[in-house]
Amino acid sequence: MNKEPLNTLSELENWAKNPAEALELAGNQGTLQLDTCLRHLPSKRLTCRAIWQDKPVIAKFFYGRGFNGLLIKEALMLQALKKSSINVPELLHSEKQADYGVLIIQYIEQAHTLSSFFWSQPEQLEFEARLLAVTRLMLTCQQAGFDIKDPHLDNFLYRQGDVYLIDTGDIGKKTGQLRHQSAVQNLALLYAQLPVTLDQQAFQVLIKGLKDLPEWQGLNEQSWQQALIRQRRWRQKKFIDKKVFRSCTAYICERTNSRFLMAKRGVYSKEMALALTNPDELINKGKLLKKGGTATVARVDIDGQAYVLKRYNIKKPIHSIIRGLKWSRAAVSWRNGLLLEMLGIPTAQSYAMIEERWGLLRRRSYLLSEYIDAPHAWDIYEDEQYDEESKTQWAKKIYALFLLLKRSQISHGDLKAQNILCPVEGPLFIDLDGLNSEQSAGAYWRQFKKDIGRFDISWPTKWKANPYFSAFSDKLLADD
């Protein structure tokens, strides 16, 4: 264990990259022992759990250009929030050295972030209680003039009915109550982080939280849903469009003149990396699921785990030139799959994407995704093993799945029955290279009508349209 005083920031940066062993730093008010790295922005900030004066604390380090101003701003904001009776951890100590500063903050024990809770399929009563608590905290902040520009769910802790705001770096202070337009935008950004599947339940909780506030009484579900769409598109630009094609906390990027690979950091093992050095061989050894001119799909095994590997083929030389200057279909599917995952819309998980490249030209591409042993929607209505009741229930579940696209103003682009899988947990989307999440309301509505029309005709020849789904088609196409 290093017990030397911190003379340079290199020790701190090195520990953040590999925090397996605790690091001790000498300070003005005693030794600070770092034990768990919570967040690291290289050359800028480090947040970690630590031991100080024999008790657990949060240590937040600031360094790099302008660090002193950021340190002072966060310390003052913590004090201002506390003065306004808003739940924040206590600021226990602040210290400035020549090239860094640190805030030592109360550690809230036996507390949990709200992000992990809301994505764990919570019970209805507990869901309502926690969402109402964080909503009321947000409203209290807004009424006191605090502008929470990035109300990330991980910036709130919940403990025994109380919610604490734990990251104040992006909070501004206004004179008087926050303007209503800004208040709507900030609250919608908070709610936009919930799975789309919870939108209707969440709106009922929101109405309960707003019942005593006159300025919010004109809010209706349709206008609120549009606010959610705007904020989810902002999050898409920030987290999907910017991050899924470069190395970051969540993803690994490997780039050469002949190959470009993206993979989820949490699943990209040595075995997966080795197998994907030759994806064609992996397909040849796997079980062929589909062979066509545009794509080849196989079930493959990597280290005893089943996956689906899809190769997007190049049909002709001219096709290679036309496609080569655009993002590949695998890259588009990778991005769209991660978007649906972020929104909570059911889809097969995407794990890795590869593009073969020849200089600036993209050639064949590959997508590795979750293998789900389940029938397609087409099979449900063609296979005699499914009785009338099963077919009726699956139609209801598929309708509910389509509603998630409609609520999110997203079109699929190839919504045939073969592009919906039906495991026992419920239906989900596959084949996402035609998905569009950035259309105007009018363009989306025209494309969504085409989606439903495509779905309606993708059935056995004995039907003109699926009789179990026709009533749901009418509901989907009703202009809300």
Q: Which tens digits make up the pLDDT trace of 442-465?
A: 999 999 999 999 998 888 677 777
Name the architecture of domain 112-231: Orthogonal Bundle (1.10)
Domain boundaries 377-476, corresponding CATH code = 1.10.510.10
Q: Where in the chain is the domain with CATH 3.30.200.20?
A: 9-106
Q: Given this model, what pLDDT does residue 318 score?
A: 59
Q: Which fold has domain 251-370?
A: Phosphorylase Kinase; domain 1 (3.30.200)
**Integer angstrom CA distances of residue 26 from 7, 34, 57:** 10, 11, 15
**Integer angstrom CA distances of residue 141 from 133, 145, 166, 169:** 13, 6, 13, 15
At 365, phi and psi to the nearest 5? -140, 160
Q: Which residues pair with 158 in a beta bridge?
A: 112, 163
Q: Where in the chain is the domain with CATH 1.10.510.10?
A: 377-476
Give the homologous superfamily in CATH for domain 9-106.
Answer: Phosphorylase Kinase; domain 1 (3.30.200.20)
**Integer angstrom CA distances of residue 63 from 29, 45, 143:** 20, 6, 33
Rounded Cα–Cα distance for residues 72 and 91 (Å): 12
Q: Given this model, what pLDDT does residue 324 score?
A: 57
Q: Tell me the pairing of strands 295-302 and 287-291.
A: antiparallel
Q: Given this model, what pLDDT does residue 202 score?
A: 96
Instruction: Find out whether 381 and 391 touch, Cβ atoms under 8 Å.
Output: yes
**Integer angstrom CA distances of residue 405 from 331, 343, 411, 445:** 21, 10, 7, 11
Which residues of the chain are under the pLDDT cut of 70? 1-8, 315-325, 360, 460, 479-480
Q: Given this model, what pLDDT does residue 119 score?
A: 87
Q: Given this model, what pLDDT does residue 141 score?
A: 94
Q: Given this model, what pLDDT does residue 323 score?
A: 58
Q: Given this model, what pLDDT does residue 28 score?
A: 82
Q: Given this model, what pLDDT does residue 335 score?
A: 97
